[in-house]
Amino acid sequence: MFGPVASGKTHLVKQWMEGQNRVTVFDVTGEFVSDESFMRVFSNPKQYAMILKQSPYYFRIAYEPGEDLEYDFYWVLSALWVTPSDKLLVVDEFHELCPVNATNAQVKKMLRFARHDKLGFMGVSQRIADVHKLFTSSCRMVVLFRTRDARDYDAVKDRWGKNTADMVANLRPLIHDDVTKTTQQVPQCVVCELGKDPVVFDFATDCFVKNTVVTEYDAKSEPEDPSLSSSRQEPEPELES
């Protein structure tokens, strides 16, 4: 799931996890610390492993890593591998572990073999341009919230084509007041599902808008982002074998 700050992605992630009884959030930014339905574990692999061992069929854990993200991720994933139940792992700020030019060995292992271990996975990041193609090509579904950043536009275009990139650039954005906790406008997103054409989903109607490139949100009414007129960068390099 990709989208800039205040795009609506965190709200959607929380909605998806409401009915999950076996879920771990690798909570890099502390987004889930205040959620009382999650047990908080701060950079303590032993404590995390003990919780899974004692309760392998019900756990909702927000794991906050320390400075060494790869170290904590290694142990969290190792504990999940030996947990016999089906489970879900959500990683916030996923570009930190799967950057565009390289990727962590444990991430590669997870992307290729997670389904054999009954491990569901969701990666969340603000910038699709900063995440390796190996991740997006391995996903059964990719959700893209509105962006008009040139690098993200090019990354979407490189992976799904210009039509999809235009769809993302012209989505209706979220307008939410963090002070009053009120939402003036609900967003749209583009859903890219494996084996299907990308489609727009409108949260205002809870329906897909098929065969639509420019949505009801009029991008021309907003000042042009100068980054869109900048020269396009080369596509991200492929992962070396």
17: domain CATH number? 3.40.50.300
Whether residue 131 sits in one domain with residue 50: yes
Domain region containing 29: 1-139
Residue 236 lies in a domain: no
Residue 53 lies in a domain: yes
Residue 237 lies in a domain: no
Whether residue 103 sits in one domain with residue 6: yes
Which secondary structure element, helix H or strand E, spans residue 199, and what is its range? strand 199-202
Cα 212 to Cα 52: distance, rounded to the nearest angstrom: 45
Residue 157 lies in a domain: yes
Cβ count within 10 A of residue 45: 17
Domain boundary among 92, 118, 139: 139
Whether residue 113 sits in one domain with residue 93: yes
Cβ count within 10 A of residue 223: 6
Whether residue 52 sits in one domain with residue 14: yes
**In this predicted structure, what is the pLDDT of residue 231?**
39
How many structural domains comprise the chain? 2
Note down pLDDT in tens along the chain; length 241 residues.
999 988 989 889 988 998 889 999 999 988 776 778 899 999 999 999 999 999 999 999 999 999 999 999 999 999 999 999 999 999 999 999 999 887 788 888 888 888 888 999 999 999 999 999 989 998 999 999 998 899 999 999 999 999 999 999 999 999 888 788 888 899 999 999 999 999 999 999 999 996 555 444 444 334 444 443 343 444 444 545 4
